[in-house]
Structure 1
């Protein structure tokens, strides 16, 4: 197995995804797409697209290259995981509209898994105590329509398309399951947040959260296509 990880900005790296790959001796390459416009995709069987503050509708050349890479991996039946902007990029690559959401979601929120989400052997690993409730870290302001042929995995009142699966192993998550504590605190310093409240929530939630993320990674990376 070999994993291609595409970053859109330096600050939004793979976090606990990279930790999992290292601990399990899975080969991976990280590319900052804004600096390397034509990364070599040969030999990779899995693609991870990270987040970023830009919009997939921006006209930057590297975003169009990224969209083509997503289409290439999906079209050749390889595994794809999109986080936040990465999820929006998958939706766009599959022909769905991406647009500004009703309000930003920043911080820890609970979303609800759908019946399909609960039945999904990988996505269900993110649930809390075998229920449909998923306590998730968010930092986004855009959303997307559900692509044709995709299966909705989770939603909430503001953002009905929090997560979807396309085919057997293309997952798109509007939220950030890859964050470690340092990423949460670093990102939130730029926001008008109650840092004491955020830290208390994070310290309570994070041990379970990181464990649930690792459980998802195992199912996702071990999946045979």
Structure 2
């Protein structure tokens, strides 16, 4: 197995963010596979030390519109069954949930903006504990219109008032994050340029969201780097 990270990227600016900084500190190379620029079925999902499926504006159930979803789901199923470290963020978490047999569907309410997570007891005992400091939760970025049922055998780690299943673990080697703890302030403007219509439809505005990102983003970056680092410590083979 290569000491390399395979990141499946649907939108160029929805990258690994703070997770990539942690991986760089550890000397791990990142290979991005951009959907639409390569054959998604080409990589062997068992050939890398970590696989991350990133976010995007499509539905995890839109197989008929986006044929790459079927081979991607097959990759996830194969990797999860092999017990190899796997992370899903937003759309990636939804795809992991689907690969584990859970239903993915439109949420009753779009969740877009900054708000804290409510961690479960299991969440506070996990690497997500870094998202709470002295009992106060760090606001994280939310940007999704779909949700999913908790997969069988999964452990719920976090929720919000409008999205019950915000984060989960499965089998000790799988982490699903509906929210965006990876976001970096200095890369966020691309989100605003690409999706102003979504911001408006959610009842928000670009100026306010930019200001909230500048206010909350630095604390999230610090917390997320600690979170991702601890999670990686738990799944990386001992040297």
What TM-score range do you get, normalising by the shorter chain? over 0.9
| More divergent stretch after superposition (111-120 vs 30-39) | 30-39
- Map of 1:162 onto structure 2: 166
Does 2:126 match 1:126? no
| More divergent stretch after superposition (136-145 vs 20-29) | 20-29
Q: Deviations over 1:49-100 (max 9, x none)?
A: 0000001111222111111111111111101110000000000000000000
| Superposition map of 1:189-204 within 5 A | 189=193, 190-191=195-196, 192=200, 193-204=204-215
Shift of 1:135: 1.2
- Map of 2:116 onto structure 1: 110
Q: What is the Cα-based RMSD across aligned positions, in Å? A: 1.7
Shift of 1:188: 2.3
| Superposition map of 1:54-69 within 5 A | 54-59=58-63, 60-69=66-75
Contact 2:138 2:219 in 1 (8 A): no
Q: Deviations over 1:27-51 (max 9, x none)?
A: 2211113332223225312110000
Q: 2 CA distance for matches of 1:51 and 1:184?
A: 14
Contact 1:169 1:220 in 2 (8 A): no
Query: Given the alignment, which residue of 142, 150, 153 partners 1:149?
Result: 153
Q: Deviations over 1:109-146 (max 9, x none)?
A: 122001110111x121222x142634110110000000
TM-score, normalised via structure 2 length: 0.87
- Map of 1:71 onto structure 2: 77
Shift of 1:220: 1.9
| Superposition map of 1:76-115 within 5 A | 76-115=82-121
Contact 2:118 2:158 in 1 (8 A): yes
- Report SS of the residue matched to 1:223: helix
Query: Given the alignment, which residue of 180, 187, 207 partners 2:218?
Result: 207
Q: 1 CA distance for matches of 2:107 and 2:94?
A: 12
Q: Deviations over 1:135-176 (max 9, x none)?
A: 110110000000000000011221100111001120000011
- Report SS of the residue matched to 1:45: strand
- Report SS of the residue matched to 1:14: coil
Q: How many residues align?
A: 223
Does 2:45 match 1:5? no
Q: 2 CA distance for matches of 1:135 and 1:43?
A: 35
Contact 1:98 1:145 in 2 (8 A): yes
Query: Given the alignment, which residue of 174, 178, 181 partners 1:177?
Result: 181
| More divergent stretch after superposition (193-202 vs 152-161) | 193-202
- Map of 2:228 onto structure 1: 217
Contact 1:164 1:171 in 2 (8 A): yes
Shift of 1:12: 1.6
